[in-house]
Structure formats: structure tokens, C-alpha cells
Amino acid sequence: MGKVLVADDSRPMRTTLRLLLEASSGVEVLEAADGIEALRVLEDGPVDLLICDLEMPKLDGRKLIKILGDRAKSPDVIVISGTARVEPSQSGASLAAPVVGWLEKPFDTDELLALVDSRIAAQTAS
């Protein structure tokens, strides 16, 4: 069974994603309301995949992804955002390192599930 961390400041979004992923992908889902909380969860043990909103209080998703990208071992990241994707040259910082997918809110749940299932399969195969 894979383990997914959902980091989003919206409790309804975290709950919806947890219920969807547990029912459809059979993964264990952990939750964090911001980037600092996500780092604490990651200190408690590894996860296979991080689903991360970019706009969060305390430590936003961009900074969280940068921190994770600087680590030797970090989970793959699927970004979910209410803003359009920003290319690294426009933002001044690359999000590319651990990012394996990007979905704009509102996103298609089938697309999210396909991304999650493919990443979990890749993680458990290695």
C-alpha cells in the first residue's frame, strides 16, 4: 500500500482528496494544512507521493518543493493549484526537481487518480 501526503490549507480539499484516494487508489493518506506541517509529517517517515497546493500559509508550496528538491531523498510531487502554471523563467525559481505532475483547480479527478496510481506503481516497483 502506498502512502500519500496531501498538503493544502483547505480542510474540505484535504478531506475530499483523502476520501477519493483511499476509496479509489487504496493508499494511506496523511494530511498537512501548510508546508511546515508537511515537513513535520515527512520527518515522521517517508511517503511515496506529495500532493501539494502552492498557496498555503506559513510555508507555501513553492518553498516546500524547493526544500524537498534540495534533499537527497524526497517524494515525488503533484502540484494542485488555483493559479496557472508558471514557468521557471517567469517565477525566478524552478519547481521541476521533484514535480511529476501539475493540475489546475478545479481538476479532473480521473486525471489525478491516473497520476497517483502511476507514481505509486513506479515507487513500489523500485
> CB 75: neighbour CB atoms within 10 A?
22
Q: Note the pLDDT tens digit of each residue in 19-30.
A: 999 999 899 999
pLDDT in tens, 45-61: 999 999 999 999 999 99
88-97 long-range Cβ contacts below 8 angstroms, 24+ apart:
91/62, 93/62, 93/66, 94/69, 95/62, 95/65, 95/66, 97/65, 97/66, 97/68, 97/69, 97/70
Give the three cell numbers for residue 121: 506503481
For residue 89, give its domain range.
3-125
* Residue 92: φ, ψ to 5°: 85, -5
Tell me the pTM.
Answer: 0.88
Task: Please give the full DSSP string across 31-42, using - where no structure is assigned.
Answer: EESSHHHHHHHH
CATH code at position 50:
3.40.50.2300
Number of folded domains that form the chain: 1
The answer to whether residue 125 scores a pLDDT higher than 60 is: yes
Percent of the chain scoring above 90 in pLDDT:
65
Q: What kind and span of H or E run contains 15?
A: helix 11-24
